[in-house]
Structure 1
Amino acid sequence: MKKKLLILSLIITFFTACSTKNKDELYNLSPSQWYAQIIKDLQDKDLEKADTHYSGMASEHIADPLLEPILIILAQAHMDEEEYQLAEFYLDEYNKKFGNSKNVDYTRYLKIKAKFEAFAVPNRNQALMLQSQQEIDNFLKEYPNTQYKPLVQTMLTKFNIAVFYLDSTIADLYNRTDRQQSYEIYQEKLQQSEFFERSIITPELPWYRAIFEKF
């Protein structure tokens, strides 16, 4: 919820940057000056200022070529800070302004990577796992010769293992609580998986999280 509010705030800032100036705000800068300021913000580890200054740059120079590297830099900076929804915001902006047949697979790959890195807990985010599986399947069909194919295939394998682990955990829960019909449904799903009866190292939760989250 907090990250959604941050994205909404960024969008509002983008559309009001020209009309709400005070003595502390920067404006009427050249593209290279904006670029240098945003890089300085990132070097100072001040992402909030970098976001604000991007809004100023984008409002004054709608499609300047320097926006292209800045959008990718900001997306990666937010991924590094685990702010994945904001990273996707910048990647969507990049696609709108600079997306073409030569780079669209790269930005699609970065969006998949953002979802992959957002997946941190093995028995949560089932919707995220399923959405990511579908997105990777679509990506591989649309770009069968992409140079990022090995990377997204690795991500897909890890998502598939995570889904298998979650299903096995649910099946175990149903078995332990004598809900036989539900257990058999999940057991059938497990038997159809490529990972059934394979030796898989299951993820371990930290003790302070396992107390509350273990089924």
Structure 2
Amino acid sequence: MKMYKILLLVTLIVFVTGCSTKEKVAIYNKPALYWYNSIIKEVKNQDLEKADDYFTSLSSEHVESPLLPTSMLMLAHAHMQEEEYILANFYLDEYIKRFGNAKNTEYARFLKMKANFDSFLQPGRNQQLLLDTIQSTKAFVKRYPNSKFRPMVDTMLVKLELANFQLTEETASLYGRLDKPKAKKIYDEKIQKSPLKDAKMIKPHVSWFRSLFE
């Protein structure tokens, strides 16, 4: 009798699971507005995984929908707020590639720079991304010299340059501690050639336990 109850329970679980799976799979071939509203709903609920899934359905079922570019920017903003900068950049890259034009590319490129800038949560991390962001920021200023975002871009560029200069100083100091004079000399020369060498900077605070590994 006990074994019968167990088998009955297992059968019930399998049946319910199968029904829920079928119900989930059955959600397809919906109007573009359905997927768009679902994205908005999940963004508000802060369930970005579901929102991403709904965007996949929107983009695959409605490849020419005018709701796609708006959805991309919305999801880029949402992922930036959650500090998920790689995903934010994915949507911005896709937006520029698929829908970029003379009017809207400027804003998308600005958001991409801001996403990279905001990703530097800790000093001395991801030097290559830091250098790439400096170059892309300079390119933005050259391409859009009269941009309404110019004040924010200039501020970001100064902070990025200061961070890079500090990283150069720390690298020179590290090679000195490791007794590698040739390598230290290379970075010392970079410091002397930098226009920031006489700048009075406030170094970012590093907690004591992180400082053991920096």
TM-score range, shorter chain: 0.7 to 0.9
Residue of structure 1 equivalent to 2:63: 62
Deviations 1:9-45 (A, max 9, x none): xxxxxxxxxxxx9421422222222111111111221
Measure, in 1, the Cα distance between the counterparts of 2:28 and 2:178. 64
C-alpha RMSD of matched pairs (Å): 1.7
Which moved further from structure 2: 91-100 or 48-57? 91-100
Q: Describe the shift of the 1:184–1:97 C-alpha distance in structure 2 as closer, same or farther (beyond 3 A).
A: closer
Residue of structure 1 equivalent to 2:44: 43
Identity %: 46
Residue of structure 1 equivalent to 2:169: 168
Measure, in 2, the Cα distance between the counterparts of 1:177 and 1:98. 50
Residue of structure 2 equivalent to 1:15: none
Amino acid corresponding to residue 23 of structure 1 in structure 2: E
Q: Describe the shift of the 1:196–1:31 C-alpha distance in structure 2 as closer, same or farther (beyond 3 A).
A: same
Measure, in 2, the Cα distance between the counterparts of 1:175 and 1:163. 18
Structure with larger RCO (C-alpha < 8 A, sep 6+): 1
**Contact 1:63–1:97 under 8 Å retained in 2:** no
Q: Which runs of 4+ in 1 moved over 2 A?
A: 173-185
Larger Rg: 2
Measure, in 2, the Cα distance between the counterparts of 1:86 and 1:170. 30
Residues paired across the two proteins, number: 193
The runs of 5 or more residues in structure 2 that have no matched partner are 1-20
TM-score (norm 2): 0.84
The runs of 5 or more residues in structure 1 that have no matched partner are 1-20
Measure, in 2, the Cα distance between the counterparts of 1:98 and 1:178. 53
SS of aligned partner of 1:124 = coil
Deviations 1:45-102 (A, max 9, x none): 1111100000111111112112221110101111111111111111122123321100
Measure, in 1, the Cα distance between the counterparts of 2:93 and 2:164. 27
Measure, in 2, the Cα distance between the counterparts of 1:198 and 1:175. 22
